[in-house]
Amino acid sequence: MSAIAKAAYFWRSAASGLRHAPFVHFIAVTTIAIALFSAGLAQAMGRMVDALIGSLGGEVQVTVYLSPELDEEGAEVLRERMVAASGGRASLVPPQAALERLARELGDLGEALAQLPENPLPPSLELEVPQERRTPGALKALAQELRAMPGVTGVDYGEEAVERLSAISKALRYGGWVAFAVVLLATVVIVSATLQLAIYARREEIEIQKLVGATDRFVKAPFLIEGFLQGLLGAGVALAGLVTFERLVGPGVASLFSFLVGPGGMVPLLEPGLALELLAAGCALGLGGSFIAVGRFLRV
């Protein structure tokens, strides 16, 4: 039998197997689809949280408080050093300018500041850091570097908010990987179990093939193709589910995240790269489950 004839036979046999036990294969396809849908949704939500953190890092203003004893020349020297350290721009805010700004922000309550015997605000430098240094880790490292400079009494960049969001992002990612590993294991077990039922239903056909000299590879091939098709179908269902979810729930999520990160910060739920990853994962799950199932059967 030629290679083309063998391939045609394998694909016909796999298609026949799918038609032979539709309910069994429906369970396997549904299991794969649920696992991939959950994984794709978790990946999309992780990207949205990362976009929120990046946007927060871009909006945070790095304010460096200077010692009141520092003169104008010393403040200018510090400004130049901070520009060199951050790679961005820095502007000096004198105490009187800071007090006037605070009074404007307080509105009617700002009149009470005029009754203060002296200005309690220190001079400060406001830093505008480049985009690549607006991540939580980069901001924290920059703040530590700035605090070590002489004449600096404090650095504020919204550290608590940035650290909390960073911790939430890490927890989501670690939790997502653990959940995905559990779901992956359960999916492989369920897929292999359902395929074993399908293989057992065709045991007489397999025994006849073995009697006429068919090798294990020849027997395995159609079932591996069945698993591949199951995974492909499951991935297709998962992608369809994600598209439907994005159309139904996406507008509400988009409005929420556009409010938090701005209109340009929203990331799409289903990207081409994620779709290809889910297709590849589905095929791998189907092949893995079928490989385990047919291997067990042939060892019996």
pLDDT in tens, 195-218: 777 777 777 777 787 777 777 778
Q: Quote the distance between the C-alpha of residue 78 and its chain's center.
A: 39
Mean pLDDT of 157-184: 73
Q: Give Cβ neighbours of residue 223 (< 8 Å, ≥ 6 apart).
A: 14, 17, 195, 198, 199, 290, 293, 294
User: What global pTM score does this model have?
Assistant: 0.61
Q: Which residue has the higher pLDDT, 10 or 154?
A: 154
Tell me which residue of 42, 11, 81, 59 sits closest to 221, measured CA to CA: 11
pLDDT recorded at residue 55: 59
Q: Which residue has the higher pLDDT, 32 or 52?
A: 32
pLDDT recorded at residue 239: 92
pLDDT recorded at residue 247: 84
**pLDDT at residue 17 above 90?**
no
Q: How far apart are CA 73 and CA 64, in angstroms?
A: 16
Q: Give Cβ neighbours of residue 257 (< 8 Å, ≥ 6 apart).
A: 48, 51, 52, 265, 266
pLDDT digits (tens, 9 = 90+) for 101-130: 777 877 777 677 777 777 778 888 888 877
**pLDDT at residue 48 above 80?**
no
pLDDT recorded at residue 218: 80
**pLDDT at residue 52 above 70?**
no
Confidence class of residue 258 from pLDDT cuts 50, 70 and 90?
low
Tokens of 196: 């074993």
pLDDT digits (tens, 9 = 90+) for 67-108: 888 777 788 888 888 888 877 788 888 877 877 777 787 777
Q: For strands 89-93 and 124-128, give the pairing.
A: antiparallel
